[in-house]
Amino acid sequence: MEIYGMVTGKAGKSGYGSASTAEDVTHSIDAKHLTAIITGGTSGIGLEAARVLGMRGAHVIIAARNTKAANDSKEMILQMYPNARIDCLQLDLSSIKSVRSFIHQFLALNVPLNILINNAGVMFCPFQLSEDGIESQFATNHIGHFLLTNLLLDKMKSSARESGIEGRIVNLSSIAHTYTYTEGIMFDYINDPDRYSEKKAYGQSKLANLLHSNALSRKLEEEGVNITINSVHPGLITTNLFRHSGLGMAVLKAMSFFLWKNIPQGAATTCYVALHPDLKGVTGKYFTDCNVTTPSNFAIDTTLADKLWDFSIKLVDSLP
């Protein structure tokens, strides 16, 4: 049924499907009272999400490694919507130092935070370590966003408490979370080049995004906080993420062309989960094509999620 929906664009229970665009799923939504951070909002579905949230009136902070690209994106959005509220801050998710610096810069703006979209990522990279000595895909896709989210939680909690508006966190995962190492997360060999597979390492990092969402969802519910967190698979989209892909991916795309989305369609699920009123109170779910779907068994393993949480905390705390 999911494949049928992907091919035909047939809407699911939400009323939306693979053919829906970010503008479609946010039609008539007024976001003027919201402030959102979008990581990697300079290209692809991140830029589209920034554009659509800005169009709907949200104050959007584009967090990006390349400040020139971020400012170019801001100018593009302002040319389309002169009244849009867009700010840019530098953020390199592969660097713990940069994440902490971003938090300092953001808090200095003295604005609320209602929505956090953890969109940025790298994919299929050759083996390399970050400046903190962590395998680059795990560092960028998981650890950077894990730390960013944790350091922004107090601001999100106070914003939700003072405004009465539900906070929402959206983690960009992927169907690739199903293609990972045998044990799901290779805790003892994260940085081992001899065991490294660029595709399984990517799948591992996307599984980590789901496990992070599910663990944090449980913690926030136990605390009684008015914040939800969900994961999304945006779909198959041709973006800069595929810059490290080779001939095999080109062949796969040619054979599965009917499954691929354009960028407005690719950003739809992100924007739906971030803004749609029908999702009030919905947390700890995994969305594909704007509908809840079931992830892998690893992704719903609470023991694995707790182990990853503790591992991530210890890893971050061990760094200078």
- What positions carry a catalytic annotation? 196
Spatial CB neighbours of 65, under 8 Å, sequence gap ≥ 6: 90, 91, 92, 93, 98, 120
The owner of tokens 């405004």 is: 163
Structure tokens at 195: 């065991």
Identity at 179, one-letter amino acid code: Y
The owner of tokens 């994106």 is: 73
Identify the burial level of 216 via C-beta atoms within 10 angstroms of its C-beta, where 0-12 means exposed, 13-18 middle and 19 or more buried.
buried
83 phi, psi to nearest 5 deg: -90, 0
**DSSP designation for 171:** E
Secondary structure of residue 47 in the 3-state scheme: helix
* Angle CA 156–54–10, to nearest 5: 95
Q: What is the CA radius of gyration of the chain?
A: 18
